[in-house]
Chain A
């Protein structure tokens, strides 16, 4: 296993790290220079003694990076993403996301601080099927000030409506703005979900298997647009994938999870076939 960051390596005295991570102040001047957007130290998640999902994950992701999380089913990829934004309660460990630190459970305010700065794209797009593509993108403003106006594009301020149209334009779907989400193809729906995530101008974009439910051609289109838009806007992107080609082609760095631990963490250009085979060996 490669330790991703000397600051958070296993050799670092745990006492100083944990005491440091307990407070809500920045880590250190050095870390500011490195512009950390996400730090995880010894993260553990289990549902019971036998069902351990994450078993001591430590990683460090810098601003602007595009990171692919790979691993077999049950390796803990989705759980890790959900732990980062407080959708799951952690069993142990320290997490710092976008300057907000928490241990087991993020407080309501901490969750709010994190979630207002992120975009999240799920495998099955998570669009409201009976509403238009435009309204679904406007939903990206929920959680922000005056968010009742994001219930529907009809109530939204003009600049939100325009931003939503620009986001749809960015994923080449502005001509489908008025179409209901359930009339879109799988690939189109996923691109609308990406537009919804982008419209809030997030610093961190998290995507859980964004292309898994799509055919290969649509999957490549979606991934290409996704990664291009993230890079153009200097958004840090973390995505999980079962598709090794996607993971290596569209990321700067690949982190492999196996049995709840980091199996390897390498720049995508250095990932070999043997590395990838090792991830899925039982």
Chain B
């Protein structure tokens, strides 16, 4: 037992090892940036967050609004009209998602690193996807309401663009993360880029593509609800007019129905996600 200890002591004496510091050194420039960001955060909180007095004053108003909203409207004629609007909302979401996903696939392929047949042009498609994603859906809705008029078509086009912005990015990432070895194996026997996409990349990335599509559908349903606020069809238009006309019983019925629809869609997409492996 004594020999290892002796040799260990000998080792300690024989070698003087320099140990690096416990914490990484922060360059002066980085430190200045961190301080600047902290100052910006504090200034933002001071300027735009609600003051405690204002929050306190708002509490009675919240109860007052809830009192005016309950019970929700149950007039059959209203419920039927709301049902049709809900159906239109779902149609906007589903049609927009389907077209968006179909268009996202080639865009993602063209923008995915190593997979794209346009190695030097892929940034163009990445840029296009970034443009679609960066502009908020309500802004797209306003653009399409101006270009194609009020109604569900503008809403569907908004969801298509929004879905391309979302799926285009995540599809491309899933393609880039797909297994490299089969791609090299099929490239070695002369398979084209398109053949490799269809034979390797899509089957391998399929669970991720389906998951992304389901998230896109959930996102589209939530978006399609609010698109009506700017005249792009769906239940949002009913909600806006209910608030504008102070019909809070109707507004609460609409909010409840939206909640139920979103809950059902999340339940369905969760079940589908479990099946995808």
Contacts and interface: CB of A to CB of B under 8 A. Distances in A.
A150 B192 CA distance: 12
Contacts of B195: 142-143, 147-148, 150-151
Nearest to A112: B190
Given A126-B182, A128-B203, A129-B179, A151 B198 contact: yes
Contacts of B181: 122, 124-126
B185 interface: yes
Interface in A52-95: 82, 85, 87
27 contacts: A82-B188, A85-B188, A87-B184, A87-B187, A87-B188, A115-B190, A116-B189, A119-B189, A120-B189, A125-B181, A126-B185, A126-B186, A127-B185, A128-B182, A129-B204, A130-B204, A130-B206, A131-B203, A142-B186, A143-B186, A143-B190, A143-B191, A144-B190, A147-B191, A150-B195, A151-B195, A151-B199
B191 A120 contact: no
Which residue, A118, A131, A197, has most C-beta atoms of chain B within 10 A? A131
A200 interface: yes
A142 B195 CA distance: 7
State the 7 A-B residue pairs at the shortest beta-carbon distance, nearest first: A143-B190, A126-B185, A115-B190, A142-B191, A120-B188, A126-B181, A151-B198
Contacts of B206: 130
A187 interface: no
B189 A115 contact: yes
A115 B200 contact: no
A142 B199 contact: yes
A250 to B, nearest CB: 21
Interface in A190-208: 193, 196-197, 200, 206
Contacts of A193: 185
A276 to B, nearest CB: 29
A131 B179 CA distance: 13
Contacts of B179: 128-129
Most chain B CB within 10 A, of A114, A118, A129, A152, is at A129
A114 B192 CA distance: 14
Q: Main SS of chain B's interface residues?
A: helix
Contacts of A85: 188
Interface in B157-187: 179, 181-182, 184-187
B189 A140 contact: yes
Contact of A148 (B184, B198, B203): B198
B100 to A, nearest CB: 24
Contacts of B207: 130
A120 B179 CA distance: 17
Among B184, B190, B200, find the residue whose CB has the most chain A CB atoms closer than 10 A: B190
Nearest to A193: B185
Interface residues of B, number: 20
A85 B190 CA distance: 10
Contacts of B191: 139, 142-143, 147
Given A116-B190, A147-B192, A193-B185, 8 more contacts: A115-B189, A115-B190, A125-B181, A127-B182, A128-B204, A139-B199, A143-B191, A150-B199
Contact of B192 (A125, A126, A143): A143
Select the residue from B185, B188, B192, B198 with max chain A CB neighbours within 10 A: B188
A34 to B, nearest CB: 26
Contacts of B186: 126, 139, 142-143
B190 to A, nearest CB: 3
A155 to B, nearest CB: 10
Contacts of B188: 82, 85, 87, 115, 118, 120, 122, 206
A111 interface: yes
A196 B179 CA distance: 18
Given A122-B185, A150-B195, A150-B199, A142 B204 contact: no
A156 to B, nearest CB: 11
B184 A122 contact: yes
B200 A128 contact: yes
Contacts of A126: 181-182, 184-186
Nearest to B187: A87
Interface string B23-46: 000000000000000000000000
A87 B191 CA distance: 13
A128 B189 contact: no
Interface string B202-226: 0110110000000000000000000
A151 B196 CA distance: 9
A127 B182 CA distance: 5
A127 B207 CA distance: 17
A106 B131 CA distance: 39
Contacts of A197: 189
A130 B191 CA distance: 19
A164 to B, nearest CB: 14
A125 B182 CA distance: 8
A114 B190 CA distance: 8
B74 to A, nearest CB: 49
A85 B198 CA distance: 23
